């Protein structure tokens, strides 16, 4: 069972790393062992048990902390088998590296807090790939809150915040324990501790800048200025433009793009061509004949906009 917010443009990712589950009390809240048999004391230590784990993300103040199906911020689940053991090291599972740590893309949350609900069931009713769970098969329930406003720039630069959680499914002194690690990091093009700043570096005829690797603030390249680096200092000439002697007509200007390092003429609206020497078919204030429309078009070679007449049908 896996469900997430349907978006590929979410700014951050929450990593949930399950490390160890210590089973001090192996009886479910309804008094069942992992094979479905009833017990009022202890279950057999020779049983092979299937555990079904659900990690559910919720809002802190939803009031549904005991509900494993209400996961508005995403959920993931997996099944593992333990043999004759009262402790499970998740990272010793043969295929653990394929799903741990669990990854949850996150939208911006107004209070920067998230409730992480973890449920562990005995999966004694599983049939093949189908898992049948209910309240009676619940072994342990854990809950913690985590703030998302201390995100790292990337997964590789982050450090997990380690926590020891105690079973809150019942009132007892012998509580099962779960060790986890939590961390959030920003997706590519998002910056800041809340991943709330988006910056995509740009270098064309309209603006030229890179992004600060920590804050995401736009850093204008030489010759450009303004908050969006969209204003050009006409007195600045790139060295390669000076040495190349490229002539740009009609108020066009020479610009060497970072990814090509080749001088190109950037043409103003209404002109096109390698040297901006050609008047476009139409201009924004001139009506095309016979019902035609004057529409903007983009020339990828010169990286500039110009206008062309689109004729009416017939």
Which tokens go with 307?
Answer: 């206008």
pLDDT at residue number 306: 66
pLDDT at residue number 43: 72
| Inter-residue contact 15 to 183 (CB < 8 Å) | yes
pLDDT at residue number 301: 62
Closest CA to 185 of 149, 146, 151: 151
pLDDT at residue number 5: 42
Closest CA to 142 of 228, 23, 244, 304: 23
H-helix segments, 65-182: none
CATH, domain range 247-314: 2.10.25
H or E, element range at 254: strand 253-256
Counting Cβ atoms within 10 Å, is residue 18 exposed (0-12), middle (13-18) or buried (19+)? Answer: buried
Sheet (strand 202-203) strand order: 202-203, 208-211, 218-220
State the CATH architecture for 2-191: Sandwich (2.60)
Strands 177-186 and 12-22: antiparallel
Does pTM surpass 0.85?
Answer: no
Per-residue pLDDT of the chain (314 residues; tens, 9 = 90+): 444 444 457 899 999 999 999 888 878 877 877 777 776 667 766 567 888 899 999 999 888 888 888 999 999 988 888 776 778 888 888 777 788 999 999 988 888 999 999 999 887 555 555 556 667 788 899 999 999 988 998 888 899 999 999 988 877 777 889 999 999 999 999 999 999 999 999 999 999 999 998 899 999 999 999 999 999 999 998 888 888 778 899 999 999 887 677 888 998 877 888 888 877 666 555 667 777 777 777 767 656 666 777 777 76
Closest CA to 182 of 153, 139, 151, 140: 151
Q: Of the CATH numbers 3.60.10.10, 2.10.25.140, 1.10.10.10, 1.10.3470.10, which one belongs to the domain with range 199-236?
A: 2.10.25.140
Same fold, 2-191 and 199-236: no
H or E, element range at 20: strand 12-22
H-helix segments, 89-162: none
Query: What is d(CA 72, CA 117) in angstroms, rounded to the nearest whole number?
Result: 12
pLDDT at residue number 160: 95
Angle at 107 between CA 112 and CA 77, to 5 degrees: 100
pLDDT at residue number 302: 58
Q: Where are the domains of the chain?
A: 2-191, 199-236, 247-314
pLDDT at residue number 305: 67
Which tokens go with 255?
Answer: 């610009």
pLDDT at residue number 281: 61
pLDDT at residue number 84: 64
């Amino acid at each position: 069972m896996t469900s997430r917010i349907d978006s590929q443009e979410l700014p951050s990712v929450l990593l949930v790393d399950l490390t160890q589950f210590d089973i001090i009390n192996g009886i479910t809240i309804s008094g069942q062992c992992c094979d479905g048999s009833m017990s009022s004391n202890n279950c057999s230590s020779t049983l092979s048990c299937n555990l079904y784990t659900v990690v559910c993300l919720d809002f802190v103040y939803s009031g549904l902390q005991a509900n494993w199906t209400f996961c508005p911020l995403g959920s993931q689940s997996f099944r593992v088998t333990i043999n004759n053991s009262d402790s499970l090291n998740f990272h010793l599972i043969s295929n653990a590296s394929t799903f741990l740590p669990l990854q949850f893309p996150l939208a911006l949350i107004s209070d920067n807090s998230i409730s992480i609900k973890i449920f562990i069931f005995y999966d004694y009713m599983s049939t093949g790939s189908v898992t049948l769970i209910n309240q009676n098969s619940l072994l342990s329930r854990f809950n913690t809150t985590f703030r998302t406003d201390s995100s790292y720039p990337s997964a590789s630069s982050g450090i997990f915040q380690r926590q020891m959680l105690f079973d809150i499914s019942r009132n007892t002194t012998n509580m099962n324990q779960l060790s986890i690690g939590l961390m959030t990091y920003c997706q590519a093009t998002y910056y800041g501790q809340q991943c709330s700043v988006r910056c995509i570096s740009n270098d064309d005829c309209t603006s030229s800048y890179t992004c600060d690797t920590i804050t995401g603030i736009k850093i204008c390249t030489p010759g450009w200025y303004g908050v969006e680096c969209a204003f050009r200092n006409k007195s600045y000439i790139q060295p390669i433009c000076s040495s190349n002697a490229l002539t740009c007509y009609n108020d066009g200007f020479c610009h060497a793009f970072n990814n090509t390092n080749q001088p190109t003429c950037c043409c103003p609206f209404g002109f096109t061509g390698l040297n901006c020497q050609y008047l476009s078919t139409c201009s924004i204030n001139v009506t095309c004949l016979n019902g035609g429309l004057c529409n903007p078009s983009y020339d990828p070679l010169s990286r500039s906009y110009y206008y062309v007449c689109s004729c009416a049908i017939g």
